[in-house]
């Protein structure tokens, strides 16, 4: 059974248009109100001196914007220090650099706490802080670059990226007094790595050394009066260095091992009401869920588009249209509320949709208006998934490639879905009930499987059997065929004339009285 906004197939075209406009108006108001929602709603916490902010999930633009907002909240409450709790497998270098820059701009100390793992871009964020602490079950490292479109990256580009990241992580480690060479091994997999333990009097140190310079380093330390008491293999060539808490502390890659962030706050001199926990607000959590995988966003865009198409092919306005518009609204509104898209991108999408609708329902043929609408829609969709407009680095270029893949993957999936629906759904008994066909017409459609158009040509007069919005069914003598109205909605039982025919398309218009 189809639950729908009550519109019968015999209602006028203007009635249907009014119903559709009411629904579109509702969703545009929903979008506008969503933009005005105070997404900076403050968590109900007591004032304090140290702020704990968790950074969990993919390192991306949303993590950066959420951290920026939460740091501002903490500062208003008088936070003297920040503890960033990290649990991430990594993400984009671009976003990691934004977070590092944000941390470096703070006049207050920012300490990193690796709760579970800080891998890849998470490692860079950790060393961008003033100190790094790791939980007993935590891991840090594996910071080698990955390229979403790996086959499109040349060896020269790859070498440049690795070179930059090696120097960058060494710089970050040096700033906080950690081992530069050990940090570099988290990015560069081109060499095997050994560790040596050396002593001198009551002093004992553990050092990581690349295989090719092992003997030279041993000789250097021995010449300085140090004795080598052990030597062991750490990683083979081709692997990125990843360390547990004990190894990270042993090789001078963290300042200590701490049970949890509350204990770390106590070590820093804060406890009880002096500790703030600033969490993500509900919009940020919602946007995180939507952006957690390109598959989710692709499915929202594809299914939403298919449902809107089904709505256009059936009389009245019901569940497919409402759910379809909701899915599309969720996809783009989540990007806006997650601070990935601005009002400009949303306006581009809305204007693009309006231009496409004008091209379909008002302006005859297909020309500049439709092309402009498609370009605006595509540009708005892509830009709503990223913070930049034109990529200025290979990292931003990778983000752009990923967003292209999401948008055009959705378009391809939408095209396939529409083709399958157009091919098989009109023959189903359930779908026929939505088209309000008579039993004789239903038998005709099933018997023929496809419309017989041999006797139909330009100038042939017929009658619209269903509303044409713009597609629908029309009868020409004894033939029931699929047709498309030119430039307007045509209500059922209206006399029509064929103005254009092709191998798979019949275009009609209302016969002037």
> Mapped to the 3 state alphabet, what secondary structure does 427-440 carry?
HCHHHHHHHCCCHH
441 CB-side CA count, 13 A: 18
Dihedral over Cα of 200, 206, 210, 211: its sign: positive
Contact 48/77 with Cβ under 8 angstroms?
A: yes
Residue 480 has pLDDT above 90, yes or no: no
pLDDT of residue 191: 84
Q: Are residues 400 and 496 in the same domain?
A: no
Q: What is the C-alpha to C-alpha distance for residues 401 and 81, in angstroms, rounded to an integer?
A: 38
Q: What is the C-alpha to C-alpha distance for residues 352 and 332, in angstroms, rounded to an integer?
A: 14
Q: Are residues 384 and 490 in the same domain?
A: no
pLDDT tier, 170 (very low <50, low <70, confident <90, very high otherwise): very high
> Quick one: CA torsion of 463, 465, 468, 471, rounded to 10 degrees?
-100
Residue 438 has pLDDT above 50, yes or no: no
Is residue 147 in some structural domain?
Answer: yes
Residue 37 CA to its chain's centroid (Å): 21
Q: Are residues 86 and 151 in the same domain?
A: yes
Q: What is the pTM of this model?
A: 0.64
Q: What is the C-alpha to C-alpha distance for residues 54 and 352, in angstroms, rounded to an integer?
A: 38
| Buried b or exposed e, range 270-303, using 16+ CB within 10 angstroms | beeebbbbbebbebbebbbebbeebeebbebbbb
Structurally, the chain folds into a number of domains equal to 4
Q: What is the C-alpha to C-alpha distance for residues 140 and 380, in angstroms, rounded to an integer?
A: 37
- Look at the block and give the residue holding tokens 């103005």: 499
Q: Are residues 418 and 292 in the same domain?
A: yes
Q: Are residues 404 and 501 in the same domain?
A: no
pLDDT of residue 272: 84
Residue 32 has pLDDT above 70, yes or no: no
Alpha helices (runs of H) in 362-454, residue ranges in sequence order: 368-383, 394-424, 429-435, 439-448
Q: Assign residue 205 the CATH number of its domain.
A: 3.30.1490
Mind listing the pLDDT tens digit for each residue in 79-113? 989 999 999 998 888 889 999 999 999 988 999 99
Share of the chain above pLDDT 90, in %: 25
Contact 334/290 with Cβ under 8 angstroms?
A: yes
Between residues 275 and 297, which one has the greater pLDDT?
A: 275
Q: What is the C-alpha to C-alpha distance for residues 213 and 225, in angstroms, rounded to an integer?
A: 19
Domain that holds residue 149: 50-187+240-280
Alpha helices (runs of H) in 60-111, residue ranges in sequence order: 61-76, 93-105
Q: Are residues 172 and 225 in the same domain?
A: no
User: Mean per-residue pLDDT for 490-508?
Assistant: 84
Mind listing the pLDDT tens digit for each residue in 211-267? 888 899 899 999 999 998 999 998 888 889 999 999 999 999 999 999 999 999 999
Q: What is the C-alpha to C-alpha distance for residues 238 and 445, in angstroms, rounded to an integer?
A: 63
Q: Are residues 339 and 460 in the same domain?
A: no
The enclosing H or E element of 473 equals strand 471-476
Last residue of a domain, which of 206, 223, 238? 238
Q: Rounded to the nearest 5 degrees, what angle is found at the Cα of 84, between the Cα atoms of 263 and 119?
A: 105
Query: Largest alpha-carbon pair distance within the chain?
Result: 109
Mind listing the pLDDT tens digit for each residue in 104-119? 999 889 999 999 999 9
Least confident of 134-138, 167-171, 183-187, 505-509: 505-509
Q: Are residues 118 and 226 in the same domain?
A: no
Residue 384 has pLDDT above 60, yes or no: yes
Q: Are residues 294 and 375 in the same domain?
A: yes
Q: What is the C-alpha to C-alpha distance for residues 375 and 347, in angstroms, rounded to an integer?
A: 13
Mean pLDDT is highest, among 59-68, 149-158, 363-372, for 59-68
Q: Phi and psi (nearest 5°) for 250?
A: -60, -40
pLDDT tier, 340 (very low <50, low <70, confident <90, very high otherwise): low
User: Mean per-residue pLDDT for 285-308?
Assistant: 78
């Amino acid at each position: 059974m189809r639950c729908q906004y009550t519109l019968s197939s015999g209602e006028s075209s203007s009635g249907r248009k009014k119903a559709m406009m009411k629904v579109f108006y509702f969703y545009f108001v929903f979008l506008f109100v969503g933009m005005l929602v105070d997404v900076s709603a403050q968590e109900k916490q007591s004032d304090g001196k140290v702020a704990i902010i968790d950074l969990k999930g993919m390192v991306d633009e949303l993590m950066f914007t959420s951290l920026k907002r939460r740091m501002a909240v903490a500062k208003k409450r008088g936070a003297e220090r920040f503890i960033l709790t990290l649990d991430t497998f990594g993400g984009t270098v671009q976003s990691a650099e934004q977070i590092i820059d944000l941390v470096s701009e703070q006049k207050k100390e920012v300490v990193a706490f690796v709760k579970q793992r800080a891998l890849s871009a998470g490692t860079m964020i950790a060393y961008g802080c003033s100190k790094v602490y790791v939980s007993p079950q935590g891991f840090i490292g594996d910071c080698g670059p990955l390229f979403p479109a790996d086959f499109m990256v040349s060896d020269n580009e790859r070498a440049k990226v690795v070179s930059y990241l090696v120097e960058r992580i060494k710089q970050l480690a040096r700033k906080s007094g950690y081992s530069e060479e050990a940090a570099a091994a988290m990015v560069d997999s081109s060499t095997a790595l050994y560790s040596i333990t050396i002593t001198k009097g009551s002093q004992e140190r553990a050092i990581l050394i690349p295989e090719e310079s092992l003997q030279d380093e041993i000789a250097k330390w021995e010449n300085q009066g140090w004795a080598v008491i052990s030597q062991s293999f750490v990683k083979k060539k081709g692997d990125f260095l990843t360390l547990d808490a004990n190894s990270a502390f042993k090789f001078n890659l963290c300042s200590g091992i701490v049970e949890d962030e509350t204990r770390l706050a106590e070590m820093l001199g804060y406890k009880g009401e002096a500790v703030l926990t600033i969490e993500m607000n509900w919009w940020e959590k919602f946007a995180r869920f939507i952006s957690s995988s390109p598959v989710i966003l692709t499915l929202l865009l594809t299914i939403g588009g298919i449902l809107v198409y089904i709505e256009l092919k059936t009389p009245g306005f019901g569940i497919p249209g409402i759910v379809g518009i909701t899915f599309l609204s969720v996809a783009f509104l989540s990007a806006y509320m997650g601070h990935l898209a601005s009002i400009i991108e949303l306006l581009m999408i809305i204007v693009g949709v309006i231009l496409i609708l004008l091209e379909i329902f008002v302006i005859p043929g297909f020309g500049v208006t439709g092309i402009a609408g498609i370009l605006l829609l595509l540009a708005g969709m892509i830009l709503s998934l990223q913070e930049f407009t034109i990529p200025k680095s290979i990292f931003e270029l990778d983000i752009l490639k990923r967003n292209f893949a999401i948008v055009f993957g959705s378009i391809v999936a939408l095209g396939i879905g529409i083709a399958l629906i157009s091919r098989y759904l009109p023959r189903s008994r359930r779908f026929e009930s939505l088209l309000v066909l008579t039993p004789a017409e239903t038998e005709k459609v099933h018997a023929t499987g496809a419309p017989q158009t041999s006797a139909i040509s330009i100038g042939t007069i017929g009658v619209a059997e269903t509303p044409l919005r713009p597609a629908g069914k029309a009868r020409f003598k004894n033939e029931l065929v699929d047709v498309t109205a030119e430039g307007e909605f045509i209500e059922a039982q209206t006399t029509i004339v064929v103005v254009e025919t092709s191998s798979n398309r019949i275009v009609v218009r209302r016969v002037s009285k």
